[in-house]
Chains A and B, each alone.
Chain A
Amino acid sequence: MKIAIASGKGGTGKTTVAVNLAAHLSRRGIPLNFIDCDVEEPNARFFLGIDIGDTRVEQVPVPVIDEDSCLGESCRKCVELCRFKALICMAGTVMAFTELCHGCGLCELACPADAIKEGTRDIGESGIGRKDGITFFQGLLRIGEAMSPPLIKAVKARAENSGLTLLDCPPGASCPVVCSLQDVDYALLVAEPTPFGLHDLNIAVQLLRELHLPFGVVLNRAGMGDERVERYLEKEAIPLLAAIPHERAAAEAYSTGALLIDGVPGFADRFSDLVAAIEHQTGRTLG
Chain B
Amino acid sequence: MKQLVVISGKGGTGKTSVTAALAGLGPAKVLADCDVDAADLHLVLQPEIKERWPFVSGEQPSIDPNLCTECGLCRTHCRFGAVSEDFRILPEHCEGCGVCDYVCPVGAVSMRPRVCGEQYRSETRHGPMAHAALGVGEENSGKLVTSVRREAKSLAEDRGFELVLVDGSPGVGCPVIASLTDADLAILVAEPTVSAVHDLKRVHDLTKHFRMPAALVVNKSGLNHDMESELLRYCELEGIPVLGSLPYDPIFTKAQIAGQSILEFDPNGLGENVRTIWSRLETLLA
Q: Are B172 and A40 in contact (CB under 8 A)?
A: yes
Q: Which residues of B contact A (CB under 8 A)?
A: 9-13, 16, 37-38, 40, 43, 58-59, 77, 79-80, 92, 95-99, 102-103, 134, 136-139, 141-142, 170-174, 177, 191-195, 198-199, 202, 205-206, 209-210, 220, 223-224, 226-227, 248, 250, 253, 256-257, 259
Q: What are 28 sample pairs from A and B whose C-beta atoms fall under 8 A apart? A: A11-B11, A11-B12, A12-B11, A40-B173, A43-B10, A43-B198, A83-B59, A83-B97, A104-B95, A143-B202, A143-B206, A144-B177, A146-B142, A146-B177, A171-B11, A173-B136, A174-B134, A195-B257, A196-B256, A200-B40, A207-B137, A224-B250, A225-B257, A251-B248, A252-B224, A255-B192, A256-B194, A256-B224
Known: A104-B79, A255-B193. A196 touches B40 (CB 8 A): yes
Q: Which residue of A lies closest to B171 (CB)?
A: A40
Chain A CB within 10 A, most for which of B138, B191, B253: B253
Minimum CB–CB distance for B13 against chain A, Å: 6
Q: Are B174 and A147 in contact (CB under 8 A)?
A: yes
Q: Are A10 and B173 in contact (CB under 8 A)?
A: no
Our count of residue pairs bridging A and B at CB distance below 8 angstroms stands at 177
Chain A CB within 10 A, most for which of B97, B138, B259: B97
Cα distance A145–B250 in the bound complex, in angstroms: 36
Option from B9, B137, B206, B256 in Cβ contact (under 8 Å) with A144:
B206
Minimum CB–CB distance for A256 against chain B, Å: 6
Cα distance A75–B256 in the bound complex, in angstroms: 58
Cα distance A47–B220 in the bound complex, in angstroms: 19
Q: Are A196 and B43 in contact (CB under 8 A)?
A: yes
Write out the residue numbers on chain B whose beta carbons fall within 8 Å of the beta carbon of A145. Answer: 173
Write out the residue numbers on chain B whose beta carbons fall within 8 Å of the beta carbon of A146. Answer: 142, 173-174, 177
Q: Which residues of A contact B (CB under 8 A)?
A: 8-12, 15, 40-41, 43, 46-47, 81, 83-84, 102-106, 109-110, 141, 143-148, 170-178, 194-196, 199-200, 203, 206-207, 210-211, 224-226, 248, 251-252, 254-257
Write out the residue numbers on chain A whose beta carbons fall within 8 Å of the beta carbon of B192. Answer: 255
Write out the residue numbers on chain B whose beta carbons fall within 8 Å of the beta carbon of A9. Answer: 11-12, 37-38, 40
Q: Which residue of A lies closest to B134 (CB)?
A: A174
Q: Are A194 and B253 in contact (CB under 8 A)?
A: yes
Q: Are B37 and A174 in contact (CB under 8 A)?
A: yes
Q: Are B38 and A203 in contact (CB under 8 A)?
A: yes
Write out the residue numbers on chain A whose beta carbons fall within 8 Å of the beta carbon of B98. Answer: 81, 83, 104, 106
Minimum CB–CB distance for A287 against chain B, Å: 29
Cα distance A43–B196 in the bound complex, in angstroms: 9
Q: Are B16 and A148 in contact (CB under 8 A)?
A: no
Q: Are A11 and B138 in contact (CB under 8 A)?
A: no
Write out the residue numbers on chain B whose beta carbons fall within 8 Å of the beta carbon of A210. Answer: 92, 136-137
Given contacts A174-B137, A224-B250, 16 further A-B contacts (CB under 8 A): A10-B10, A11-B13, A41-B172, A41-B198, A103-B79, A106-B98, A109-B103, A141-B173, A146-B173, A147-B173, A148-B173, A254-B193, A255-B193, A255-B223, A256-B193, A257-B195
Write out the residue numbers on chain B whose beta carbons fall within 8 Å of the beta carbon of A84. Answer: 97
Chain A CB within 10 A, most for which of B37, B97, B248: B37
Q: Are A105 and B102 in contact (CB under 8 A)?
A: no
Q: Are A41 and B199 in contact (CB under 8 A)?
A: yes
